[in-house]
Structures are given as structure tokens and as C-alpha cells.
């Protein structure tokens, strides 16, 4: 039985235009870049235009929502065990990034209503006619939470030392390479910096969303080396020690229980009545053990907002009219859910294989991976796990992506017979209904996912059942999230995994760290040592080339053709096998004002503007 959720979005072309006389992105008239975006708002709300208001030398960003009132608390949630770090520049997992990034702003951000790149800490951005030079002026008079002024020195330090210097998570730096060269940054004056790229680089502007770091706090740490930086602002740090620029600052962290944030009185956003934002006194994130517990906490009114999945959507929708919450359809998930084998055939520094050699042969056999793909019953997953509130996924780009390869997006149905034929081609055979390779080894491996995510746990059970129809013995092992992340990126000691990647429907280049052969999230074939980069499959070289070419291409249609090519290659080789894409449904209490959900931003993307009625 098939159930599909069809999400229709209207597509339009746009070029970057002048935003306002106070906040602007200036682009030359002859620039060839065109982007296709949709209207990402889920309701009829039209945000106020971007404007700046200067008071006593401070360039305040004006709120894009009507004036609210101060006070109140909003309680959200996250599953798992909590953040591993509060160092935004060293974070390698979504939970840590969620916990850290709310405390810091970048030069720009993505407009949750339109998908355009818009200034944040930046007052203006000017792109010169060569399409390689970016002049960025900061807002004047902004302060860190400790009262020190935010200046070009902080911007220069963040980019030149932390990012380009390779401190912490190097994903941003790696995505900035143009060939073997990185962009250059210069300090022009106290409030202005200039970036210069070696060639016109289409993803550059969006990359400037990286949080800006306080130089006076982090420079002494970087001078101690990368190890000291990696351990700085750990999960054990006293909240009083954080120096931040975002709307909220950490007040309290109780491991495995809650994160409590308080408003930053130095924040630079102001409403039409000159009231400083954020309105909320506190923003609390409860750390819940699993999705079921999260739902129970929403029912008991311990949470103010929650994501709904599967059969719960119908249940909560039926009660919506008689309840104190409203439900929003946020469209297809912007991330991707996947299954992957570990293709690593190399040894570690101790001379030990990351993956058992007999398993290496299975996992690196294209027929084995294709057989796995055909054995998976995605329609059944959609129906039984997501209750139809999802659609099968076959590409590395989300279904809402403006770069989606439509030719392969519908994929194929489950076909056990075809899967068995593929296995036979590579010499696999069956004995007592169990699968064996041509050397007589029984096919048995471990499959991991993060415990507490009941959706992924359910997927794991179904994947295990599907693969057992092929005679494979699958030992399904849900484990704690941080332990799993360590297995994937630090020790690389796993056989197979079910996980998800966050993503953007606007820019595939953000996934370079997944697809580039030496990427920090190239989890299906991680290269743990420099010498490992000499061992690259031809299809990995092709992916490297595609991403390099796409980054230098300014024409939208040509970029789209390149990104469609990469999706086709992944579909054919199957280093990652995609499962399904949930439709994101969220509920939030009616007691809050200025709630303007969008497909890109979710329900509380404008947390600084939300207020208690």
C-alpha cells in the first residue's frame, strides 16, 4: 500500500537586490548568478523590511515583526544526552551546535522567509564587479555580553585564525578551499573587513554565517594550540565564563536534564517602539531521553513546542480545536535520513583494520550495496513508521531542494528478487536461508543508530527485517548519540549505521564535508590520516571535481546540472542509501505572539521576536 504526501511549492527566479538603504547587499548589475527559491513562509505573514536605526552611535537592527512585550519563558526540547561542547567552532554534532550557536551571531544569515542571504552583524555587504571582492561593514556600537565592543578585529580573528587556521571543526575551512587556495581577509578599518576569493566563488556569501568569536577571550586560547582550543568552553564550563553576541546567553546547564538561557541585555535588535529584544526572559531546552518522553512532556505542558511524527500528527490535529496549541506543516524535512556501510579498507596507526577484511569485501561490492538498496521497503517505512506523513527518499538532496534531480527522485520499489540476483552476480549463495559469500563466510554485521530516537530505532528494526529476507544476519545496536558520533568520526569502528544529515534546500555545497574525499563527515569512507588521501576511488575523485566545478559556476542552470550529476553518481554507486523524508509537523502553544513558522526556519526561527501574550 502506498501513501505519499505531495508538497507543492511555487518556484520563482530572483537575483540579489538592494535590501534597504541601511541594510543592503550590493551586487553589480552584470552578475550572472541566478537562484531559484520558493516562498518559505507557512502562513500569510509578510515580515517587515530590513532596516537599521542608529541611536547614540549604535546601529540597531529593527525587528521584522510587530512590537511585543517583555517577560516570560519558552520551553523547547532536544533528545539524547545533551551537548558535548559549547564551543561553536569545535562542534561536530547537531545538539552541540544547537546549544552553542544560539549564543552567537554571524556576519550574515539566511532569511527564513525567502532563502536570501541577509546581513546580521554586518550593516552592509558590497560585492565588487570582479565577483571576487566583498567589502563588509559591521554595525557600529555592538557589544559582547561582557561589555566590550564588537569590531573588525573580532571578524578578522575568527576567519583568519580560527577558520582558516584550522582550529576546531575544519568543515567550514575545507568548504572554503578554491583549488588549493583559501580566501583572504583584510581589516580595512575598525568596522570594515574585505574578503577576496581567488576566483568567483558562488557559495561564499552564504558561508559568512559562521559565528563571530570574541578575540579578547579566544585569542589567548588559540596561542596555546589546537588541543587547548578543542577543550575550551566544554560542557563543564561555568556559564558565567561565556562571552557572547547572540540573543541569549547560557545561565545554567544540568547534564542530561536542561539548558537554561537568559536574555542578553546587550543584544542589538530593537522593535518599532524602541524596545530591546529578545522579549523572553528565558529560553529553556529540556534534554529528553527519547521521542516518546518528549511527546509526554508536551502533553503534560512541560514543553511549549514539539515536533510531531507519524500517527501522532492525526491525534494532535483532531484535538487542536479544543486545545491550547496550533499545528504547522513545515514541508519536507530539509535534512536526509540514510543507511550507510563503512567502506574503509585502511589500517589505523596501530596497524589494525578499521573494518574486518571479510566485511570490507562485502561493503565495497557494488552489487552488495545495490542489493541492500533494493531490499529496503521504503513505502512500508513511510506507512508504518511515519503513518504516511513522509515520502521515500533516493537522493542526497532533500525533496524541497531547488537542485533536486527529478529524474531519480522517485527511485524504485522494493524488489527482493532483483536484490538476490545482484548478490548472485558477486558469488553470494544461501545455505539454510542464511547468506554466505563466495569464500564461505556467513554475512553478519552490526548496525548502529542513536538510542532514544525512536524513529531511527524503528527504522533500524525494519532495515534488519528487510535485510534478513536476503539471508543477512544484522545485529541492530542502538547506542548513546555522542558515543555513536565518536565511532563515526573519531575511531571509525562501525560496520553500518542509520543516521541523518542536516541540510539546506538552497545550497548543496554545504554538504562538501560529506562528499569530498577528505571531508570531516565523509563517514562512509573516512580518511583518518594524511596518507589516507592517496587512496581514493575514481567515483570519489568525480565527486571532488563536481563540487569544485559547482563552486566556481555562477550560472544557476549550470550549477543545477552539476548538482544533478552528483546526485546521479551517488544514486548509482550508493555509498549512502537514502530512506525517506518526513514531512515536518510542529505544534506550539497559542500563548505566544510573533510566531511565524517557515519551511526553512521552523517554528521558533525568530526566537528573539517571540513573546508571551
Residue range 272-325, pLDDT digits in tens? 999 999 999 999 999 998 888 999 999 999 999 999 987 788 889 999 999 999
Q: 263 forms bridges with which residues in the sheet?
A: 248
Q: Which domains can be identified in the chain, with CATH numbers?
A: 1-304+591-613 (3.40.190.10), 336-582 (3.10.105.10)
CA–CA distance, 181 with 198 (Å, rounded to integer): 7
By C-alpha distance, which of 286, 322, 303 is closest to 98?
A: 286
Q: What is the DSSP string of 75-140?
A: EEEEESS--SBS-TTT--SHHHHHHHHTT--BSEEE-TTT--EEESSEEEEEE-TTSSEEEEEEPT
Q: What is the CA radius of gyration of the chain?
A: 24
Model confidence at 18, pLDDT cuts 50, 70, 90, reads very low
As given in the structure block, the three cell numbers for residue 48 are 517587515
Compute φ and ψ for 319, nearest 5 degrees.
-95, -5
What pTM was estimated for this model as a whole?
0.81
Widest pairwise Cα distance in the chain:
81
Mean pLDDT of 191-214: 96
Q: What is the DSSP string of 541-586?
A: HHHHHHHHHHHH---HHHHHHHHHHHHHHHHHH-SSEE-EEEEEEE
Res. 512: pLDDT tops 80: yes
Whole-angstrom CA distances from 353 to 271, 496, 517, 533 are 59, 15, 19, 16
Model confidence at 606, pLDDT cuts 50, 70, 90, reads very high
Burial class (CB in 10 A: 0-12, 13-18, 19+), 593: middle
Torsion sign across C-alpha atoms 485, 490, 493, 497 = positive
What SS3 class is residue 489?
helix
Beta strands 434-436 and 282-288: pairing type?
unpaired
Q: Measure CA of the first residue to CA of the last residue in the chain; give whole Å.
A: 45
Q: Are 372 and 577 a contacting pair, CB within 8 Å?
A: yes
Model confidence at 533, pLDDT cuts 50, 70, 90, reads confident
For position 43, what pLDDT does the model report?
Answer: 64
Amino acid at each position: 500500500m502506498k501513501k505519499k504526501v505531495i508538497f507543492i511549492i511555487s518556484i520563482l527566479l530572483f537575483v540579489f537586490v538592494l535590501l534597504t538603504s541601511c541594510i543592503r547587499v550590493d551586487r553589480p548589475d552584470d552578475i550572472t548568478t541566478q537562484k531559484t527559491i520558493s516562498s518559505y513562509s507557512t502562513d500569510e505573514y509578510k515580515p517587515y523590511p530590513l532596516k537599521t536605526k542608529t541611536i547614540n552611535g549604535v546601529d540597531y537592527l529593527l525587528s521584522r515583526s510587530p512590537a511585543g512585550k517583555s517577560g516570560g519563558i519558552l520551553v523547547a526540547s532536544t533528545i539524547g544526552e545533551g551537548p558535548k561542547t559549547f564551543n561553536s567552532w569545535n562542534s561536530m554534532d547537531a545538539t552541540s551546535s544547537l546549544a552553542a550557536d544560539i549564543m552567537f551571531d554571524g556576519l550574515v544569515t539566511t532569511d527564513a522567509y525567502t532563502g536570501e542571504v541577509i546581513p546580521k552583524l554586518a550593516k552592509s555587504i558590497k560585492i565588487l564587479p570582479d565577483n571576487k571582492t566583498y567589502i563588509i561593514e559591521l554595525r557600529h556600537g555592538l557589544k559582547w555580553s561582557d561589555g566590550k565592543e564588537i569590531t573588525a578585529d573580532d571578524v578578522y580573528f575568527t576567519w583568519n585564525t580560527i577558520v582558516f587556521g584550522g582550529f576546531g571543526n575544519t568543515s567550514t575551512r575545507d568548504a572554503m578551499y578554491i583549488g588549493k587556495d583559501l580566501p583572504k581577509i583584510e581589516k580595512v578599518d575598525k568596522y570594515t573587513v574585505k574578503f577576496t576569493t581567488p576566483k568567483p566563488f558562488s557559495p561564499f556569501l552564504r558561508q559568512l554565517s559562521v559565528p563571530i568569536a570574541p578575540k579578547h577571550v579566544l585569542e589567548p586560547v588559540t596561542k596555546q594550540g589546537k588541543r587547548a582550543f578543542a577543550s575550551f568552553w566544554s560542557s563543564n564550563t561555568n556559564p558565567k565564563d561565556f562571552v557572547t553576541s547572540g540573543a541569549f546567553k547560557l545561565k545554567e546547564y544540568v547534564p542530561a536534564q536542561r539548558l537554561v538561557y537568559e536574555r542578553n541585555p546587550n543584544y542589538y535588535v530593537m522593535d518599532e517602539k524602541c524596545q530591546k529584544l529578545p522579549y523572553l526572559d528565558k529560553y529553556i531546552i529540556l534534554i529528553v531521553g527519547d521521542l516518546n518522553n518528549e511527546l509526554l512532556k508536551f502533553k503534560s505542558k512541560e514543553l511549549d513546542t514539539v515536533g510531531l511524527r507519524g500517527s501522532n500528527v492525526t491525534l494532535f490535529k483532531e484535538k487542536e480545536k479544543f486545545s491550547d496549541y496550533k499545528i504547522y506543516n513545515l514541508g519536507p524535512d530539509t535534512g536526509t535520513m540514510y543507511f550507510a556501510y563503512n567502506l574503509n579498507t585502511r589500517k589505523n596507526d596501530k596497524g589494525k583494520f578499521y573494518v574486518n577484511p571479510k566485511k570490507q569485501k562485502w561493503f565495497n561490492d557494488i552489487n552488495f550495496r545495490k542489493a541492500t538498496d533494493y531490499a529496503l521497503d521504503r513505502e512500508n517505512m513511510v506507512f508504518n513508521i511515519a503513518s504516511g506523513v513522509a515520502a521515500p527518499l533516493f537522493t542526497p538532496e532533500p525533496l524541497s531542494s531547488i537542485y533536486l534531480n527529478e529524474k531519480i527522485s522517485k527511485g524504485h520499489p522494493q524488489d527482493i528478487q532483483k536484490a538476490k540476483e545482484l548478490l548472485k552476480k558477486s558469488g553470494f549463495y544461501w545455505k539454510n536461508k542464511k547468506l554466505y559469500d563466495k569464500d564461505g563466510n556467513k554475512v553478519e554485521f552490526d548496525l548502529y543508530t542513536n538510542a532514544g530516537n525512536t524513529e531511527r530505532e524503528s527504522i533500524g528494526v525494519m532495515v534488519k527485517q528487510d535485510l534478513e529476507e536476503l539471508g543477512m544476519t544484522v545485529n541492530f545496536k542502538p547506542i548513546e548519540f555522542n558515543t555513536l558520533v565518536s565511532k563515526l568520526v573519531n575511531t571509525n569502528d562501525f560496520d553500518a549505521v542509520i543516521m541523518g544529515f542536516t541540510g539546506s534546500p538552497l545550497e548543496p555545497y554545504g554538504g562538501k564535508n560529506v562528499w569530498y574525499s577528505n571531508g570531516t563527515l565523509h563517514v562512509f569512507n573516512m580518511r583518518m590520516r594524511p596518507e589516507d588521501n592517496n587512496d581514493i576511488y575514481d567515483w570519489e575523485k568525480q565527486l571532488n571535481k563536481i563540487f569544485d566545478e559547482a563552486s566556481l559556476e555562477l550560472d544557476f542552470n549550470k550549477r543545477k546540472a552539476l548538482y544533478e550529476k552528483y546526485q546521479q553518481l551517488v544514486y548509482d554507486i550508493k555509498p549512502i542509501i537514502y530512506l525517506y523524508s518526513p514531512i515536518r509537523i510542529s505544534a506550539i502553544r497559542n500563548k505566544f505572539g510573533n510566531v511565524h513558522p517557515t519551511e526553512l526556519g521552523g517554528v521558533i526561527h525568530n526566537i528573539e521576536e517571540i513573546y508571551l501574550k
